[in-house]
Amino acid sequence: MSWIDVGALSALPARGARRVSIDGVDIAVFRTGAGAVYALRDRCPHRGGPLSQGIVHGDRVTCPLHDWVIDLETGSATGADQGCTPTFAVRVESGRVLIDVQRGEASTAERALRIPA
């Protein structure tokens, strides 16, 4: 595992998100109202909308382009919509947010990231 420090938890607003770029991949880091932290590729599976600019509600985010609702834990579209965006493992240590970016042997998420947009 390759854990990368992406910033202070205090810089991540409740019910909000920040975008970080790691090795040229944009990742949306979310914090729910309950304080859970999630990381997904910052690209809606529908039309590539920036999920980091969406509205966070519960453990979901609504894409700002076409109102698709994405589950923050799984990256899957909800309701009648179908599709998925890659997720990344996240942990918080000493007030810092860390994201696991697999290197070497490709994870499912990393293989998905290699597909040209």
| Tokens linked to 81 | 């919509």
What whole-number distance in Å separates Cα of residue 49 and Cα of residue 6? 22
Q: By three-state DSSP, how is residue 2 classified?
A: coil
Q: By three-state DSSP, how is residue 84 classified?
A: strand
One pLDDT digit (tens) per residue for the chain, 117 residues: 689 999 999 999 999 999 999 888 999 999 999 999 999 999 999 888 999 999 999 999 999 989 999 999 999 999 888 899 999 999 999 999 999 987 433 444 444 433 333
- Do 92 and 98 touch, CB atoms closer than 8 A? yes
CATH of domain 3-113: 2.102.10.10
What whole-number distance in Å separates Cα of residue 76 and Cα of residue 98? 22
DSSP per-residue letters across 30-65: EE-TT--EEEEESS-TTT---GGGSEEETTEEE-TT
